[in-house]
């Protein structure tokens, strides 16, 4: 089957047309996170024929992911598969022209330029505010559009950011709120229909931006959706002349990021501890830790083990996920005990 046949119904949509489809097929897109939002985004863009899809995710698949993260299966959770590897496997079965590039990494100020190089668009499938403010900084500075998406409970928000043309994230939210003041999927839960609705709105905006059709008619707005109450609201917004990012051109999350500290992962009772130094030698660690730990498995792409009441996953870059606690100090102490 030819590419023309595959995307025939899409091309027949007049606002897209063959020129828009050709632009989509020639585009490189970065999706940050491939869990809930990111999984739906990746699937929809892959099925739409985007040229290259770059997936970045730091996590492994767990059983509690399965009700809302559409690219993963039971066996991925049982085996603790890296999310990017499971996503690549699932997306590859779709076929089509999309090239898949995956990175099992935590997006930060040090690697965002490399990971986003050549990308026409960045999509937000992440679960933390610091990464979103980093993406906003990089995209505004480099004049690359991105689409914000956030979901919790039965609803969420979507906002396209077109640098120089629309409000950026800091026009609307100048600074992130204090930790603990917003609901998360841990405190309020989350429903797959809400995830799917928000991600689909993001994907629709993504196709329109990539196709570069009628963008002058794309009015800046925040879309608010609640699938439980059946509510859809459109909140207009304007660029702020005093915006510290797109107005004053200040990019602190990009150029002056705070020191890397352990991060509590949303709804997981898990802490991510950043790399402590050199890249770990898995073989040497396996020999040293085997007498004092349980269920130690060297999978090549990661090292998994159990100790005390915790399960630990160590990545090749030195990051670790400490499952069984949301106490960052306790997680850091365990990391130092095992790997320092």
Q: What is the pLDDT of residues 193-205, one digit of tens each?
A: 999 999 999 999 9
242 and 306 belong to one structural domain: no
228 and 329 belong to one structural domain: no
What is the extent of the structural domain holding 324?
Answer: 263-339
φ/ψ of residue 85, rounded to 5: -70, -40
Rounded to whole angstroms, the Cα distance separating 49 from 26 reads 9
Active site residue 185: yes
The alpha helices in the chain, defined as continuous H runs, are 3-6, 8-11, 17-25, 36-48, 74-79, 83-92, 112-115, 129-142, 169-172, 185-188, 192-211, 252-255, 282-289, 328-339
242 and 93 belong to one structural domain: yes
- What is the 8-class DSSP label of residue 54? E
Catalytic residue among 119, 139, 185, 243: 185
**Into how many domains does the chain fold?**
2
Q: Residue 268 above 80 pLDDT?
A: no
pLDDT of res. 187:
64
Q: What is the pLDDT of residues 239-251, one digit of tens each?
A: 999 999 999 999 9
277 and 174 belong to one structural domain: no
Give whole-number Cα distances, 32 to 17, 83, 271, in Å.
28, 12, 19
Rounded to whole angstroms, the Cα distance separating 168 from 219 reads 13
pLDDT of res. 277:
67
Q: What is the CATH number of the domain that holds 237?
A: 3.40.50.720
Which residue, chain included where needed, has tokens 């730091």?
58
Q: Residue 207 above 80 pLDDT?
A: yes
Give whole-number Cα distances, 168 to 141, 152, 161, 173, in Å.
11, 21, 5, 9
Q: How confident is the model at residue 60 (pLDDT cuts 50, 70, 90)?
A: confident
94 and 118 belong to one structural domain: yes
- What is the 8-class DSSP label of residue 116? T
249 and 281 belong to one structural domain: no
* 186 vs 322, more confident: 322
């Amino acid at each position: 089957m030819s590419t023309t046949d595959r995307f025939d119904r899409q091309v027949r949509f007049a606002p897209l047309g063959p020129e828009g489809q050709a632009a989509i097929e020639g585009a490189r897109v970065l999706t940050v996170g491939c869990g809930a939002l990111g999984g739906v985004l990746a699937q929809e863009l892959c099925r739409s024929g985007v040229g290259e899809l770059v997936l970045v995710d730091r996590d492994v698949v767990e059983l509690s992911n399965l009700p809302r993260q559409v690219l993963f299966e039971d066996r991925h959770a049982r085996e603790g598969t890296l999310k990017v590897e499971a996503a690549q496997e699932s997306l590859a079965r779709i076929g089509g022209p999309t090239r898949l590039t995956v990175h099992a990494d935590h997006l930060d100020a040090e690697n965002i330029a490399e990971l986003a190089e050549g990308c026409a668009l960045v999509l937000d499938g992440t679960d933390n505010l610091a990464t979103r403010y980093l993406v906003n900084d990089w995209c505004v500075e480099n004049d690359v559009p991105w689409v914000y998406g956030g979901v919790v409970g039965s609803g969420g928000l979507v906002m396209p950011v077109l640098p120089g043309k629309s409000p950026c994230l800091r026009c609307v939210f100048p600074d992130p709120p204090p930790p603990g003041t917003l609901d998360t999927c841990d405190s309020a839960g989350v429903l797959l229909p809400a995830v799917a609705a928000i991600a689909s709105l993001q994907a629709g905006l993504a196709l329109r931006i990539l196709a570069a059709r009628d963008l002058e008619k794309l009015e800046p707005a925040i879309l608010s959706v609640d699938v439980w109450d059946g509510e859809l609201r459109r909140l207009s917004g304007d660029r702020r002349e005093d915006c510290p990012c797109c107005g004053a051109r200040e990019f602190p999350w990009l150029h002056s990021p705070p020191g890397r500290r352990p991060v509590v992962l949303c709804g997981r009772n898990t802490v991510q501890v950043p790399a402590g130094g050199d890249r770990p030698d898995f073989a040497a660690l396996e020999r040293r830790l085997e007498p004092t730990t349980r269920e130690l498995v060297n999978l090549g792409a990661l090292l998994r083990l159990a100790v005390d009441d915790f399960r630990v996953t160590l990545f090749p870059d030195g990051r670790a996920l400490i499952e069984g606690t949301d106490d960052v100090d306790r997680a850091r102490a365990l990391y130092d005990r095992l790997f320092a």
